Amino acid sequence: MHRGLHRWTALLTALIWILGLTAYGESAPAGTVTDSVITDDGQVRVYLKSLGDLSGMQLTLSGEYRLGESMRFDRGTRLAFAAANGEIYLAAEGFVMKAGTEAVLTRCAGEDGGENGLYIYESEKDTLYEGDLRILCDGDVLRCVLTISMEDYLRGVVAYEMSDSFPLEALKAQAVAARTYAMSKKAARADAEYDVTDTTSDQVYKGADGEYVNVAQAVEETRGVVGTYQGSYAGCYYTASNGGQVATPNQIWGGDGDYGYIQQKDDPYDLENSRSMVNSLSVPAARDEGDFWKLLDERIDTSGHARVRGGEITEITLSDPAFEGSYMYRQMDVTMKIQTRDRGLVEVEYDGDRISGWAMGYAYLEGKWYKWDLLPWQDTEETRTVSLSVYEDVKDGFSLGLNSRDYEICSVRQEGENYLIEMRRFGHGVGMSQRGAQVMAGNYDMSYVEILNFYYPGMTLERIDWDTPELPAQEEIPQALAKEMLNLPPAEGDLGTLAEGEYYARVVLQGKTLLNVRTGPSTEYPAVARLYDGYRLVVCAQENGWAQVRAAAFTGYVKMDYIQAE
């Protein structure tokens, strides 16, 4: 009976999804994450745009890979790729080959719990790229597209869009927003060469760093959770700081798209965060010689007197919002009492004769000499208002901007004998504020669902059960070849950093052809490698005439008689 009911529920849910609705109408109840009927392989194609225009690149494999169907590479192999004359050249372990105009490194199944990916020398950070790497040749330039599982991708996104030190629930909210964004781009770019870039033009991705354990936990605990709206992925836009008010996509980017799941609303959590960016300008109410007062003097209406200037600011107000109810004000009105300076007779010192004084324009009255000049400035009760452009005059004129485009929110408040003009909002301000989410989770113990419901109140949360393809297994090496490989000395490779007590040494054969490296300190143990004269390795310990050694491709034991410390 229960199994039959479950089947009918699944069929009903699928039908509603096809019709572009959810089982809860506009949105699921707050705090609900429903099972999704979406099917997806959970893979995302990332254009590694941050690498720039490469003519060559180097990789170190931290897993087993194959190139096409005919070449395989073991863990620890170092590869180099170069573009020349419209073709890709591959160099590996002493050989060079042409690889055509496209080379695809396919990741194979690895050991459970171990790293399985590759490191790119030219990337910004020493982090792991987990997935298949498609290398394309465009003339003399290489371009790389990484195909990676969504959850592995997010571990390299969330850590750089937020920080591993953020509260866990804030990181979870970021993971859901980033996952939803990536899925929406994947749906829109199905026929394109890639789904997202690894830069701010989409989302910053820098590979996985094992030190970011909180990020990994946040990604895992929200596995598959995405936001939907009316049968499609929601545009889970997010911003560093919204300045105290959530903006809608239509307000910032225009258009008539339906973003009913994002509303313009006040965000006290962003304002509460002391790390939300703000630029400010303090303006004295009383006249001074500062640049703001000079600007007011330039713009003031001087009619009615010989000279007029501001004397004391009585009020600063903001008006002309970019949108109804928005704090993106475009006009600032500064009202001030004015000072006037009219012309009149001013007493002067003169000791010449009257005829010369009159000739110089002086007047002689009641035994004193005078001339027409500007009288001293006089305070008045008369007020005048100067209108300024918030973005051109104030933001640009006084370097208060936080963004290249005019996204900032402006506010004015009186603080003692000064007026404090503040500019907030770092980023576009649409959707979730990362600084707001930090406060909601850290100060108020709000869950990631509560955070998302605040910033995307019309969005439904669903959990996709990824139909993840299995990684191909690397083919076994024929026994005859495996035996011969033992006779080929492995490349020295990178020996890494010396641990305490370790030292570098070289093989000294004294007439022998090759030196056997064994699994234990005795000739009774099997050989794992054979080394040529001069081979460099690291000695880890010594025991009964044997040295425990390591190299990039092996660990084992060799007789002390055949090595010499550097």
The residue ranges of every structural domain in the chain are 33-233, 278-424, 479-565
Residue 457: predicted pLDDT: 94
- String of b and e for 155-190 (b: at least 16 CB within 10 Å)? bbbbbbbbbbebbbbbbbbbbbbbbbbbbbbbeeee
Q: Taking Cα atoms as reference points, which of 375, 305, 365 lies closest to residue 344?
A: 375
Q: Is 302 left (phi over 0), alpha (psi -120 to 50) or beta?
A: alpha
Q: Report the relative pairing of strands 65-67 and 102-107 from DSSP bridges.
A: antiparallel
Tell me how many degrees the CA angle 131-133-139 measures, rounded to the nearest 5.
165
Model pTM score: 0.75
Euclidean distance between CA atoms 557 and 543, whole angstroms: 10
Q: Let me know: does 46 contact 195? Beta carbons within 8 Å.
A: yes
Tell me how many degrees the CA angle 216-217-218 measures, rounded to the nearest 5.
95
Residue 299: predicted pLDDT: 93
Euclidean distance between CA atoms 246 and 436, whole angstroms: 10
| Chain center to CA of 26 | 31
Q: How many CB atoms lie within 10 A of CB 495?
A: 14
Residue type, 74: D
Edge-to-edge strands, sheet with 102-107: 71-73, 65-67, 102-107, 132-138, 141-149, 43-47, 196-197
The CATH superfamily assigned to 479-565 is SH3 Domains (2.30.30.40)
Residue type, 139: G
Tokens for 356, please give them. 């010369």
Residue 481: predicted pLDDT: 62
Q: Which stretches within 329-431 are classed as H helix? A: 354-359
Q: Taking Cα atoms as reference points, which of 140, 425, 441 lies closest to residue 271?
A: 425
Residue 293: predicted pLDDT: 95
Predicted confidence pLDDT, tens digits, the chain (566 residues):
333 333 333 333 333 333 333 333 344 444 589 999 999 999 999 999 999 999 999 999 999 999 988 889 988 899 999 999 899 999 987 788 999 999 999 999 987 778 999 999 999 999 999 999 999 998 899 999 999 999 999 999 999 999 999 999 999 999 999 999 999 999 999 999 999 999 999 999 999 999 999 999 999 999 999 999 999 999 899 999 999 999 999 999 998 889 999 999 999 999 999 999 999 999 999 999 999 999 999 999 888 777 889 999 999 999 999 999 999 999 999 999 999 888 778 888 888 787 777 777 788 888 888 887 778 898 999 999 999 999 999 999 999 999 999 999 999 999 999 999 999 999 999 999 999 999 999 999 999 999 999 999 999 999 999 999 999 887 776 766 666 666 777 878 889 899 999 999 999 987 777 899 999 999 999 888 889 889 999 999 999 999 999 998 899 999 999 999 99
Long-range contacts (CB closer than 8 Å, 24 or more residues apart) made by 471-475: 471/107, 471/108, 471/109, 471/110, 471/116, 472/66, 472/106, 472/108, 472/109, 473/108, 473/109, 474/64, 474/66, 474/72, 474/108, 474/109, 475/72
Euclidean distance between CA atoms 436 and 267, whole angstroms: 7
Q: Taking Cα atoms as reference points, which of 119, 126, 137, 115 lies closest to residue 78?
A: 119
Cβ contacts of 448 within 8 Å, gap of 6 or more? 169, 170, 172, 173, 175, 176, 222, 441
Euclidean distance between CA atoms 142 and 304, whole angstroms: 71
How much is the CA Rg of the chain, to the nearest whole Å? 36
| Chain center to CA of 494 | 32
